[in-house]
Amino acid sequence: MMDNPYRYLPSVDRLLQLVPNTTVSHERLVALCRAALDEARATISEGLTAPTEDDLIRQVERMLHEAHQISLRPVINATGVIIHTNLGRTPLSDAALAAMHAVSVGYSNLEYDLDAGQRGKRDTHVEAIITEITGAEAALVVNNNAAAVYLTLSGLALGKEVVISRGELVEIGGGFRIPDVMRQSGSQLVEVGTTNRTRIRDYTNAITPDTAALMRIHSSNFKMIGFTESVTLAELVELAHQRNLMVFDDLGSGTLIDTARFGLDHEPTITESIQAGVDVVTFSGDKLLGGPQAGIIVGKQAAIDRLKHHPMARALRPDKLCISALTTTLRHYRDGEALERIPVWLMIATPLAEIEARALRWQAVVGGEVVPADSMVGGGSLPGNALPSKALALHVDNPDKLATQLREQMPPIIVRIQDGRVLLDPRTVLPEQDSTVIDHLRRVLCV
């Protein structure tokens, strides 16, 4: 008769006695012990070796440790992708973090006018500085750029037609498609032109008495090359205003600094759209702007005022942490210190020699090879563009295993695997994290 492996598993009471004293409740500990035993039974049912009592104790201890961990936690980004959506886009400046802390530890004047001693509006804290640095007449902040586009369409084109080029019907991250957003907003999408070529007469021929606006959506997450043609923003504005229509310009990423300064393609700037006479411009706060997650709407006073009074404006409004971080980030631009204070621009502007020097310091301790690499801006910005970089390349038998081990560290290190090597790019690692990277690598590589 074959021995029954299940009979060697301890009881819940026995396992409770074996697990070291903890600060969790008895009920919680009982639940974890039962979960560990359930996993053990599943292991046995698959024909695998039954865990020992020591294995079960370690399993419960691991569960206890994980139960005390917050799921959302800091990581070190060594991938070389600067605006990494999966890793929370980009870090905030120290000043923005300090501003968030200052308004979160107690009460704030979020909606209180200190001069008048009565209720105020949260928009006032950030609108003035947005208009100052963009040149727009008015501004409104919501919780992300998809919300900004939705509110613009719903508030200014509900039940009306919005004309857009077929070549701009993009899909953004997570499977969200611009046509879907437009339908949900209550506006009617009118497609013109072809995927690769749209001319001004295509827009002209599509205008009807039901048309509210012409819309441009910047193809920030893809690039179209070859036999292409598109309408300039100036042409779009001229046509729209001749017909008493509005122009909506969704920049997606949105930047206040000319990316061409750093050897990248020119990314359309917010100020260029405003100067072209666009009625409403929408863009993200947490991509090339380098601030917190937000959707920013700027443009003509009359249009923005209508959006401020839209019922959805309250549902989409930002909280005090977003407003404080965004205001502080925008001050960096106003004060001419964006390249020195905002991490996304620090990373973009870092000289190659400085990146190589850091990679060589890592190599001196843990080995490997310093190799040429490409850093990407990421976040749906500047597709096909790369910044020359230097990375530490680790040649190991099992790159996936090493990447997993680095993710298991505290804080986790996220790397990329390329050509069978594990690469760590210093461009996206904050300088103060260098010692942690070295310590984790030494531990995992046993050097």
Check whether residue 173 and residue 296 sit in a common domain.
yes
What's 370's domain CATH number?
3.90.1150.180
What's 249's domain CATH number?
3.40.640.10
Check whether residue 52 and residue 81 sit in a common domain.
no
What is the extent of the structural domain holding 11? 5-67
Tell me what pLDDT residue 222 has: 61
What are residue 374's DSSP bridge partners?
A: 388
Q: Can you tell me the distance from the alpha carbon of 397 to that of 423, in angstroms, rounded to the nearest whole number? A: 14
Tell me what pLDDT residue 174 has: 60
pLDDT in tens, 226-253: 777 888 999 999 999 999 999 999 998 8
Check whether residue 355 and residue 413 sit in a common domain.
yes
Tell me what pLDDT residue 49 has: 85
Tell me what pLDDT residue 368 has: 96
Residue with the two structure tokens 């006695």: 17
283: pLDDT strictly greater than 90: yes
Check whether residue 332 and residue 208 sit in a common domain.
yes
Tell me what pLDDT residue 30 has: 92
- Average pLDDT estimate for 79-99: 95
Mean pLDDT lowest among 123-132, 180-189, 247-256, 321-330: 180-189
Tell me what pLDDT residue 184 has: 86
Q: How confident is the model at residue 221 (pLDDT cuts 50, 70, 90)?
A: low
Tell me the chain's radius of gyration from C-alpha atoms: 27
pLDDT in tens, 392-445: 999 999 999 999 999 989 999 999 999 999 999 999 999 999 999 999 999 999
pLDDT in tens, 29-64: 999 999 999 999 999 998 888 889 999 998 998 888
Q: Token pair for residue 153?
A: 């369409």
- Average pLDDT estimate for 204-222: 89
Domain tally for the chain?
A: 3
Tell me what pLDDT residue 441 has: 97
In this prediction the pTM is 0.86
pLDDT in tens, 139-188: 999 999 999 999 999 999 999 999 999 888 877 666 667 778 888 889 99
Q: How confident is the model at residue 1 (pLDDT cuts 50, 70, 90)?
A: very low
The whole-chain average pLDDT of the chain stands at 92
What are residue 387's DSSP bridge partners?
A: 375
Check whether residue 10 and residue 150 sit in a common domain.
no
Check whether residue 199 and residue 176 sit in a common domain.
yes
Check whether residue 238 and residue 357 sit in a common domain.
no
Check whether residue 290 and residue 358 sit in a common domain.
no
72: pLDDT strictly greater than 80: yes
Check whether residue 126 and residue 200 sit in a common domain.
yes
Check whether residue 271 and residue 396 sit in a common domain.
no
Check whether residue 151 and residue 231 sit in a common domain.
yes
Check whether residue 205 and residue 353 sit in a common domain.
no
- Average pLDDT estimate for 344-373: 97
